[in-house]
Amino acid sequence: MVAVTSTARRPGRRQGGRQAVRLLILIVIVAVVLYPLLWMVGTSVKSQEEIVNNIGLLPEAFTPGNYTAGWGNFDLSFGTFFLNSAMVSLLTVVGNAASCLLAAYALARLRFRLRGVWFAVMIGTLLLPGHVLIVPQYILFRSLGLVGGEWPYLPLLIPQFLATEAFFVFLMVQFMRGIPRELDEAAKIDGASPYGIFRHVILPLSRPALVTTAIFSFIWTWNDFFRQLVFLSSLDDYTVPVALTLFIDSTSQSAVGPMFAMSVLSLLPVFLFFLAFQRMLVEGINTSGLKG
């Protein structure tokens, strides 16, 4: 900020020099930060021999065969795992968006008994570590016959349809507080019930918060490993992260190329989301302090 004022006073060479140094430092940091990602992509198209011997980023011989080898490395193709991951992630998006929006509307806009208490409880669950609940949740879902059952994704999805991701409830409450109350009042005068206000005022205006929730929901679920590891036990139900760990079990050197190829593919959806929505993602974490 000081720089701005002093530039105005003496737009000298010193200021430009300082800016150049800063730019240089930033470029070095970017290079360090991006190196692992570039190395990952480079390695995924290197031959087995080059993975060991070629320390450069780029392969001398482009070897896309790692991708086909990785895709078919296990008894089931990675296509199955991608479909499973996509299904879990997309249903989680739907569940989170719908259930969190309902809860947020109640907490942000409606007046009812114990609202303050419930709001405090919701805030309290924000910091509740999911790992604490995994054992009893597993036992409960198992006793209901849902673990490894007919459709083994229910234990992963049921919580998401019950607004247990308090971050999104909080995000939407914060967002709704910014919607002018006069709109509710006007609708009320026109005879709208709380349901009508939700349908015709809050729902359409909450679109930005819903989009942010959807993007983060998708990325988090796509990357999530812990819950999927616990609840999915047979190969045909595996999602991408769980399937990737199968590569580690077979630590033979020959699997490194295919393993990297599948790792790259697994990050591709997140990367595309990043390209499409990066501004929104950055703003999203600003408004709510959400973690990437």
Candidates 61-69, 71-79, 86-94, 106-114: pick the segment binding another protein (CB under 8 A). Answer: 106-114
Applying CB under 8 A, does 264 fall inside the site for another protein? Answer: yes
Residue type, 186: A
Applying CB under 8 A, does 218 fall inside the site for another protein? Answer: no
Applying CB under 8 A, does 107 fall inside the site for another protein? Answer: yes
CB atoms within 10 A of CB 237: 18
By C-alpha distance, which of 174, 179, 256 is closest to 212? 174
Tokens 């109640």 locate to 106
Which residues from 62-81 bind another protein, rule CB under 8 A?
A: none
Size of site (CB under 8 A) for another protein: 106
By C-alpha distance, which of 40, 48, 41, 44 is closest to 254? 48
CB atoms within 10 A of CB 158: 15
How far apart, in whole angstroms, are the C-alpha atoms of residue 81 and residue 261? Answer: 15
Which residues from 228-257 bind another protein, rule CB under 8 A?
A: 229-230, 240-242, 244-245, 247-249, 251, 256
**Tokens at residue 254, please?**
């020959």
Tell me the closest approach of the beta carbon of residue 234 to another protein, in angstroms.
15
Applying CB under 8 A, does 111 fall inside the site for another protein? Answer: yes
Which residues from 161-200 bind another protein, rule CB under 8 A?
A: 161-164, 169, 184-185, 188-189, 193-195, 198
The DSSP output letter for 54 is -
* Helices 13-44, 256-288: crossing angle, 10 deg rounding: 140
Which residues from 18-57 bind another protein, rule CB under 8 A?
A: 19, 22-23, 25-26, 29-30, 33-37, 39-40, 43, 52, 55
Applying CB under 8 A, does 261 fall inside the site for another protein? Answer: no
Applying CB under 8 A, does 117 fall inside the site for another protein? Answer: no
